[in-house]
Amino acid sequence: MENQIRSMKIVVLAGGISTERDVSLSTGSQVYLALKEKGLPVILLDVYLGYKEPGDCLEGLFEADIDWARDIQGVSEASPDLEAVKALRRDGGKSAFGPNVLALCDQADMVFLALHGAGGEDGRIQAAFDLMGIRYTGTDYLSSAMAMDKGISKQFFEKHGIPTPKGCVVKQGERPDPAQISYPCMVKTACGGSSVGAYRVNSPEELSKALEDALSFGEDVIVEQFIIGREFSVSVIQGKALPIIEIAPLQGFYDYKNKYQAGSTIETCPADLPQDLTRKIQSYAEQVFEALGMQAYARMDFMLDSSDNSVYCLEANTLPGMTPTSLLPQEAAVLGWSFGDLCLKILEVSLQKYI
């Protein structure tokens, strides 16, 4: 299968107009450069801006001497200016797909999805590709949609006996029942990622502002108990958990800045945990993978309560980041996989969906 993969034409699809646009572009550029170094015919596309050159000739682009990642910068501390991005589309941006994106994806043997957040990780792109017969990396549209919505995924966790922080869903125009809330708590948009729209709330006075801010990112918000303790993440490939990584921000919690600014967080892999606790967290990650019907690969986030060592699953990520500070590549490195090896592994396990 490795020889088959090395001869495949690959589109790495990144960007878009979610709040995680910059993270996605960083992931995409890293994957693109790694696959290019492995000798694969590969191009990098912004799903929203697409490819538009004079004449729009699409022939030979996979073999052309073009540095598709030359203009991509690192992830800044602030979320991207999406209105400025939308202004770059001369057609008004009615479609989620920019010029020639679908045509080039159709030419490819596989699309490596480097998308994050809404419009990329929520199943809509995957569903469109399924209808068009375009092959892509990662799990299918249904499990993507379920994992993206934290309210829905928490229901699956509870149904399958996977511990998760107690919480409730608050919709636009609603107020949460005070009896359901204890402080401190977390308020976060139900369908966001990279901790955009996530706030620690320490008192009822702070709750209204946090709800208002979180609802600006989507119609539903999760209010859940804040677990004080250690934070971990574990990736799963084809149902098997990788080594656990511990995440210890130097300040605050694991928010957007701490995730993507080098030096903001201490990450330890494999995590310093007793063997029985290591296996318990890995087992829960594998159960989440199965409960949500996932395919290929994913990453789950956990908290370990410092008071009693209880484990809680926070969420599942169907397209984990592959930036220079991302967690999945660090886990893979413990197994002796280079970044390029990991990219090839993702292509391999994703290709098996179509065999």
Report pLDDT digits (tens) over 105-120: 999 999 999 999 888 9
201 and 217 fall within a common domain: yes
Q: Residue 168 contacts by C-beta under 8 Å, 6 or more apart in sequence? A: 176, 177, 180, 181, 222, 223, 224
Q: Is the pLDDT of residue 56 over 70?
A: no
Q: What's the CATH number where 196 sits? A: 3.30.1490.20
Secondary element (H or E) of residue 10: strand 10-14
- Tell me if 331 sits within 8 A of 285, measured CB to CB: no
Q: pLDDT higher for 216 or 133?
A: 133
- Residue 195 tokens, joined: 């901790």
Rounded distance, CA 80 to CA 91, Å?
21
185 and 254 fall within a common domain: no
Give tens-digit pLDDT for 33-51: 999 999 999 999 999 999 9
Residue 196: pLDDT band with limits 50, 70, 90: low
Q: Does residue 188 fall inside a structural domain?
A: yes
Q: Does residue 154 fall inside a structural domain?
A: yes
List the domain range (segments joined by +) for residue 208: 167-225
Q: Does residue 134 fall inside a structural domain?
A: yes
Q: Which residues pair with 169 in a beta bridge?
A: 222
134 and 154 fall within a common domain: no
- Tell me if 143 sits within 8 A of 43, measured CB to CB: no
Positive or negative, the Cα torsion across 343, 345, 349, 355?
positive
- Residue 157 tokens, joined: 């966790």
pLDDT at 254: 46
Q: Does residue 187 fall inside a structural domain?
A: yes
Q: What's the CATH number where 247 sits? A: 3.30.470.20
| Burial environment of residue 78 by CB neighbours within 10 A (0 to 12, 13 to 18, 19 or more) | exposed
222: three-class secondary structure by DSSP:
strand
Average pLDDT, the chain: 90
249 and 197 fall within a common domain: no
109 and 204 fall within a common domain: no
Domains contained in the chain, number:
3
Q: Is the pLDDT of residue 89 over 70?
A: yes
User: Identity (one letter) of the amino acid at 296?
Assistant: A
Q: pLDDT higher for 129 or 117?
A: 129
242 and 159 fall within a common domain: yes
pLDDT at 5: 87
Q: Is the pLDDT of residue 100 over 90?
A: yes
Q: Does residue 116 fall inside a structural domain?
A: yes
155 and 290 fall within a common domain: yes
Which residue, 180, 208, 225, sits at the end of a domain?
A: 225
221 and 237 fall within a common domain: no
